[in-house]
Structure 1
Amino acid sequence: MEAIFHERQEGSLCAQHCLNNLLQGEYFSPVELSSIAQQLDEEERMRMAEGGVSSEEYRTFLQQPSVNMDDSGFFSIQVSVTCQTVRLISSCR
């Protein structure tokens, strides 16, 4: 039997450790997760802008911090799902 990959928990990087343990390797780093979170933030900004950039909802949205990541190492479930999708697509090629 091959060895089971286990990445120990460090800080609040639960999403990174969960993904790497699930995928059985060092596939995602905090830098990569941050990049994906920023992409999701930009997509959300674009979608919100479709309702009008002068709307109260859009202005309020822009004032809020990211819901996809924070400085503690938190990453949203959307980041985790996107990572799994990216990994699945790349493994099918």
Structure 2
Amino acid sequence: MRRPDSDEFDYPGCPSAYQEFVKAVIAYRKKLNSTTSVPKPLKLNQEMEKKRKLIIRSFSFAKNLYSTGSEMHPSKESELQAGAEFLEV
């Protein structure tokens, strides 16, 4: 342990024990980082990205309709179509 308001350790062996502990923590962290690789997200072509955005917008619109409890205007029904088609597949 360190003395209060000082960089000195209570016992002569403390600095080396602390340094070994820090080395062990760094090694463990490197090991964890090397084993947990995050997969890269898929790259979608323009057509698929457009469809994805359309489906997300459709679900968002449906969620807003549901959460507000409001009536849907008949002209907005087409906005729900992409989400409905996605769920049918």
| TM-score relative to the length of structure 2 | 0.31
Which structure exhibits the higher relative contact order, with contacts defined as CA atoms closer than 8 Å and separated by 6 or more residues?
1
- The higher radius of gyration belongs to 2
Higher helix share: 2
